[in-house]
Amino acid sequence: PVTATNFLRYVDQRKLDGTTFYRAMDLGRGYGLVQMGTRGNPQRTLRPIAHEPTSRTGLSHTDGTISLARLAPGTGGGDFFITIGDLVSLDAQPAGSGGDPDGFAAFGRVVEGMDVVRAIMAAPTDPNQGEGVMRGQMIAAPVRITTARRLPALVMVSPVPPVTAPTPPR
């Protein structure tokens, strides 16, 4: 709930308008992630939020998961990534397992348009751009996000079977 609310604040305040998908990490065989967001721009980035690990939410980084990018727990703000393929190694890992005990904060899922996400992951990257683990993962021509908006809520209506009144006694 905390991480999803954070994302919706960025959408509602139009802070994602004009930002880009700027990172594509292709791990091969249909696995990887694409990252987008404010890139720390102080005019766009809101205060960081508390970390919400998958061990608390019960979510997992499966194909199409939307998650909050961060450096350390509690530093996530206006950058988000989408997984391509199941990347459960990004989930919070049990203590002593050798993995990240905090993991990343998964909060949503792409329900339509994964073909576009995969095309972004396949975009050419610049081998000289990026720092640290992101070196070589920066998209040479970042993909611009024109607008990000909420869609009107869908109302699900189930047909109600007709009710027949009991026949009164005579």
pLDDT per residue as tens digits for the range 35-82 = 999 999 999 999 999 999 999 999 999 999 999 999 999 999 999 999
Verdict on whether the full-model pTM lies above 0.85:
yes
pLDDT per residue as tens digits for the range 85-110 = 999 999 999 888 888 999 999 999 99
Separation of alpha carbons 29 and 35, rounded Å: 19
Q: What is the DSSP letter of 39?
A: T
Nearest to 24 by CA among 33, 36, 13, 12: 33
What six digits make up the tokens of 118? 């995969």
Question: For residue 95, is it left (φ>0), alpha (ψ between -120 and 50) or beta?
Answer: beta
Contact 136, 25 (CB under 8 A): no
Per the document, the length of the chain is 170
